[in-house]
A and B are shown apart, each in its own frame.
Chain A
Amino acid sequence: MNVLLFLLPVALSLGLAGLGGFLWSLKSGQYDDLEGSALRVLEDDDLGK
């Protein structure tokens, strides 16, 4: 059962990392324009420069 001492913290820290990522993306306004983000990815303005 010693393996749990590693696995549980690992699982929890992965979960916390996910939560942190979500909160960061929320704070940086990534959910403010859902339709626009879906379309921006199609822009090819980074080509040919």
Chain B
Amino acid sequence: MTDRIDYSAFVRRDGEGGAALELAMDGVTCAACIGDIERGVASVPGLGSARLNYTLRRLTLRWEGEACDPHAVVERLERLGYKAYPFTRSREEEIEAAEMRWLLRCVGVGAFATMNVMLLSVSVWSGNATDIDPETRDLFHWISALIAIPAIAYAGQPFFLGAWRSIRARAMTMDVPISLGVCLAIALSLYETLHSQSHAYFDSAAMLLTFLLAGRALDGMMRRKTRAVAGNLLALRGEIARRVDPDGSVVEVPILAIKPGDHVLVRPGDRVPVDGVVTEGASQIDASLVTGETLTQAVGVDGEVHAGTLNIGGTLTIRAAQAAENSLVAEVNRLMDEALASRSTYVRIADRAARLYSPVVHCAALMTAIGWLAMGAGPHMAIVTAIAVLIITCPCALGLAVPAVQVVASGALFRSGVLLTAGDGIERIAACDTVVLDKTGTLTSPEARVTNRAAIDADLLTLATRLALSSSHPLARAVARDGAALAPVPGAVEEPGRGIRAIVDRLEVRLGSAEFCDAALETAIALAGEPDATPIVVRRGAESAVLLVRQALKDDARETVAALKALGLTVLVVSGDREGPVRRAAEAIGVAAWRAGCRPGDKVAILEGLKREGRRVLMVGDGLNDAPALAAAHASLSPIQASHAAQGCADALLLGERLRPALDAVRLSRRALGLMRQNLWISVAYNLVAVPLAVAGFVTPLVAAAAMSGSSVIVTLNALRAQAGTGARPQPAAPRGLPELREAHS
């Protein structure tokens, strides 16, 4: 029976014999790692090239045909002290990478046009003030037109396409006034050039577009990095399943490669990779991450198991079922679709500004034209002035006001341990006034701990810890968690599903279930005090002790909840677990309002009730059962250990095992929203100064260029304040497996 990862599912072939494999790297922390890794694997036979992308923490291997065995590379990396996980890019990531390249090409073309047109414009401006002859000016204008028109037609596509989409959807976004302003500026300039006039606005149009493209590209780069980190984390969590092939051999394959009907081996301590039916074996299943229920369930042959649950008993073989056959998952999917549809009606602050802005500005331009006509000016003068109003109000600062803050704030959030996944997450998190916390996995650590340590004889506790080191069973790991400095007991034998035994000083010692250690009575007594704990017994000769293992509250849960309350938020606990544990957890963190025993639909109903009261709810949860509620809430957060469904609905992921990032998410989001509003007001103030000038007919191309770049720079500088006050705070403990953040080392 072999047991190795089948890399072939991850290898990409280019059709000419070339093969490429991407590995997500764990442990890459400093500059020296680049050389270490690339030189270290260079001598693996058959490997063509290896290149580490330090930004994304990914190693790309290339080779010809079957010349190289990826296992050899991974083993070499392991010897060097790096863990590598095979990895496939998600479709979204591919699309985003392609869009990013397109945006950068647009920035390049736009910048080229801006610089060259500006070169000609400056000559015209200084010539207008001195003695340029009209023929030379016309020549310069024509050359400017020849550069600017094709360049803008190409580089403006992101805005023109966006505007077209929003017009077809009968919505108003910032793209519409931007496209209109740029097109009008070009049209007016062309008209003026044809009639040998002294003013043309080609430079303004090109500069405006380049500024906005740069803002958009920065935004895209940030999102691309976030997505890459999220993708690496998924790979690091080991998205693999052990498939049992018909010949009995076991192959590790990515979960996506499991088809309905495949047989999958689930060892003790593994998460069940897919929904399915047990065909062989019997075990205990911990479904706390999926349902929130902390009691374990027994499953045997023909029992149903759900993806994401933890196998804590014996080895199981399951037959993969289609997700749709499963009632829980199907129900969760249905609820999630409904909830997400209601959220998509949220209108972003920039688009709300655009809705107000467009009618006001377009009316102002119309009034200007009418005003000039009424005062007896010619139609040419009236139209030129009206278009100048549109050009000077073209939302350059408005278009940068929100994305600039977004980029800076998400960087600050990342350093605090919050990975933003939704573009409008900051705005929605900031608007929340109520926090609903799930219990299991959110308030409590997903990993269990021994809770009655103090009540146990120190010798027996040490013995239990040493014995536990020999097992990978989740309960044993919970016992061993704080005993890193101890050595395992030599000669310990594990009886799968029952416990561990060994001989120490000619006495038999055992660690395991109550039956295995023959301590049913003691166990029953110990459980009477804490009915929701899982017992594990340690026995030495006639002595025995019962260790109670339970998911403990996160260390910072209490202080985080207190700080959230201090920010003026109402805090509730809503859990799928039974009443007792939920009540105790809520009391421990100082929350008076709690609900227990909630099904996924109940949670959504509670959120809908809060919504009807006019509250905006921030939901923090991790289980599959939380996913609909996460989607239904105004904004949502999920710990990084959460199930896929939950992460898919969350606006941001909390890195590490602490609750503190949730507080930072609220604090930094509120600050960022404040700055977005401030920036919008700065843009309004700028328009209040610029529009009267434009209406009065004083806006020359020089004034337009200076005013536009000035307002853009002010808004961008103001956005940088979104990260102020985050640098001095202590770094959150980086979770294991998270690529170290660069700032933590510099």
Chain A complexes with chain B: yes
Which residues does A use to contact B, with CB under 8 Å?
A: 1, 4, 8, 11-12, 15-16, 18-19, 22-23, 26, 31-36, 39-40, 42-43, 45
Q: Are A35 and B742 in contact (CB under 8 A)?
A: yes
Contact of B54 (CB < 8 Å), options: A1, A16, A33: A33
Q: Are A39 and B119 in contact (CB under 8 A)?
A: no
Can you give 19 A-B contacts (C-beta < 8 A)? A1-B136, A8-B143, A12-B116, A15-B116, A19-B108, A23-B105, A23-B108, A26-B104, A32-B55, A33-B55, A35-B55, A36-B52, A36-B54, A39-B31, A39-B34, A39-B54, A40-B34, A43-B35, A45-B35
How far is A18 from B182 in the complex, measured between Cα atoms in Å? 24
Residues from chain A with a CB closer than 8 A to the CB of B112 are 15-16, 18-19, 22
Residues from chain A with a CB closer than 8 A to the CB of B35 are 43, 45
Interface residue B343 (Cβ < 8 Å from any Cβ of A):
no
For A16, the closest partner residue in chain B by CB is B112
Given contacts A22-B108, A26-B104, A45-B35, list 12 more A-B pairs with CB under 8 A: A4-B139, A15-B112, A22-B112, A23-B105, A26-B101, A33-B54, A33-B56, A34-B55, A36-B34, A36-B53, A39-B34, A45-B39
Q: Give per-residue flags for B154-167: 1 if the beta carbon is below 8 A from chain A beta carbons, else 0.
A: 00000000000000
Rounded to whole Å, the gap between the CB of B130 and the closest CB of chain A is 15
Q: Give per-residue flags for B29-58: 1 if the beta carbon is below 8 A from chain A beta carbons, else 0.
A: 001001100010000000000001111100
Given contacts A15-B112, A18-B112, contact A35 B104 (CB under 8 A): no
Residues from chain A with a CB closer than 8 A to the CB of B115 are 15
Interface residue B672 (Cβ < 8 Å from any Cβ of A):
no
Residues from chain B with a CB closer than 8 A to the CB of A36 are 34, 52-55
Residues from chain B with a CB closer than 8 A to the CB of A16 are 112
Interface residue B412 (Cβ < 8 Å from any Cβ of A):
no
How far is A20 from B39 in the complex, measured between Cα atoms in Å? 33
How far is A1 from B35 in the complex, measured between Cα atoms in Å? 57
Closest 7 pairs (CB-CB, A-B): A36-B54, A39-B31, A19-B112, A22-B108, A33-B53, A35-B55, A15-B116
For A45, the closest partner residue in chain B by CB is B35
How far is A16 from B113 in the complex, measured between Cα atoms in Å? 9
Interface residue B398 (Cβ < 8 Å from any Cβ of A):
no
Residues from chain B with a CB closer than 8 A to the CB of A35 are 54-55, 742
Q: Give per-residue flags for B703-746: 1 if the beta carbon is below 8 A from chain A beta carbons, else 0.
A: 00000000000000000000000000000000000000010000
How far is A18 from B112 in the complex, measured between Cα atoms in Å? 8
Residues from chain A with a CB closer than 8 A to the CB of B109 are 19
Contact of A43 (CB < 8 Å), options: B34, B55, B101, B119: B34
Q: Give per-residue flags for B93-120: 1 if the beta carbon is below 8 A from chain A beta carbons, else 0.
A: 0000000010011001100100110010
How far is A39 from B57 in the complex, measured between Cα atoms in Å? 13
Q: Are A32 and B53 in contact (CB under 8 A)?
A: yes
Rounded to whole Å, the gap between the CB of A44 and the closest CB of chain B is 9
Rounded to whole Å, the gap between the CB of B213 and the closest CB of chain A is 13
Interface size of B by CB at 8 A reads: 23
For B104, the closest partner residue in chain A by CB is A26
Rounded to whole Å, the gap between the CB of A4 and the closest CB of chain B is 7
Residues from chain A with a CB closer than 8 A to the CB of B104 are 26, 31
How far is A42 from B136 in the complex, measured between Cα atoms in Å? 51
How far is A45 from B104 in the complex, measured between Cα atoms in Å? 32
Q: Are B31 and A11 in contact (CB under 8 A)?
A: no
Q: Are B116 and A11 in contact (CB under 8 A)?
A: yes
Residues from chain A with a CB closer than 8 A to the CB of B119 are 11
Residues from chain A with a CB closer than 8 A to the CB of B105 are 23, 26
For B108, the closest partner residue in chain A by CB is A22
Residues from chain A with a CB closer than 8 A to the CB of B143 are 8, 12
How far is A8 from B136 in the complex, measured between Cα atoms in Å? 12
Q: Give per-residue flags for B118-144: 1 if the beta carbon is below 8 A from chain A beta carbons, else 0.
A: 010000000000000000100100010
Residues from chain B with a CB closer than 8 A to the CB of A8 are 143
Residues from chain B with a CB closer than 8 A to the CB of A1 are 136
Residues from chain B with a CB closer than 8 A to the CB of A42 are 31
Residues from chain B with a CB closer than 8 A to the CB of A22 are 108, 112
How far is A40 from B136 in the complex, measured between Cα atoms in Å? 49
Rounded to whole Å, the gap between the CB of A16 and the closest CB of chain B is 7
- Most chain A beta-carbon contacts within 10 A, residue among B34, B39, B52, B115: B34
Residues from chain B with a CB closer than 8 A to the CB of A39 are 31, 34, 54
For B143, the closest partner residue in chain A by CB is A8
Rounded to whole Å, the gap between the CB of A41 and the closest CB of chain B is 10
Rounded to whole Å, the gap between the CB of A2 and the closest CB of chain B is 12
For B119, the closest partner residue in chain A by CB is A11
Rounded to whole Å, the gap between the CB of A39 and the closest CB of chain B is 4
Residues from chain B with a CB closer than 8 A to the CB of A23 are 105, 108
For B116, the closest partner residue in chain A by CB is A15
Q: Are B136 and A4 in contact (CB under 8 A)?
A: yes
How far is A34 from B55 in the complex, measured between Cα atoms in Å? 7
Residues from chain A with a CB closer than 8 A to the CB of B34 are 36, 39-40, 43
Q: Give per-residue flags for B248-269: 1 if the beta carbon is below 8 A from chain A beta carbons, else 0.
A: 0000000000000000000000
Rounded to whole Å, the gap between the CB of A12 and the closest CB of chain B is 6
How far is A18 from B108 in the complex, measured between Cα atoms in Å? 9
Q: Give per-residue flags for B334-345: 1 if the beta carbon is below 8 A from chain A beta carbons, else 0.
A: 000000000000
Rounded to whole Å, the gap between the CB of B659 and the closest CB of chain A is 30
How far is A21 from B428 in the complex, measured between Cα atoms in Å? 42
Q: Give per-residue flags for B475-517: 1 if the beta carbon is below 8 A from chain A beta carbons, else 0.
A: 0000000000000000000000000000000000000000000
Rounded to whole Å, the gap between the CB of B658 and the closest CB of chain A is 26
Residues from chain B with a CB closer than 8 A to the CB of A15 are 112, 115-116
How far is A8 from B139 in the complex, measured between Cα atoms in Å? 11
How far is A32 from B221 in the complex, measured between Cα atoms in Å? 10
Q: Give per-residue flags for B49-79: 1 if the beta carbon is below 8 A from chain A beta carbons, else 0.
A: 0001111100000000000000000000000
How far is A5 from B742 in the complex, measured between Cα atoms in Å? 51
Q: Give per-residue flags for B436-452: 1 if the beta carbon is below 8 A from chain A beta carbons, else 0.
A: 00000000000000000
Residues from chain A with a CB closer than 8 A to the CB of B55 are 32-36
- Most chain A beta-carbon contacts within 10 A, residue among B31, B104, B105: B31
Rounded to whole Å, the gap between the CB of B718 and the closest CB of chain A is 25
How far is A29 from B593 in the complex, measured between Cα atoms in Å? 54
Of residues 627 to 677 in B, which have CB atoms within 8 Å of A's CB atoms?
A: none
For A26, the closest partner residue in chain B by CB is B104
Residues from chain A with a CB closer than 8 A to the CB of B39 are 45
Rounded to whole Å, the gap between the CB of A47 and the closest CB of chain B is 12
How far is A31 from B56 in the complex, measured between Cα atoms in Å? 12
Residues from chain A with a CB closer than 8 A to the CB of B116 are 11-12, 15
Residues from chain B with a CB closer than 8 A to the CB of A19 are 108-109, 112
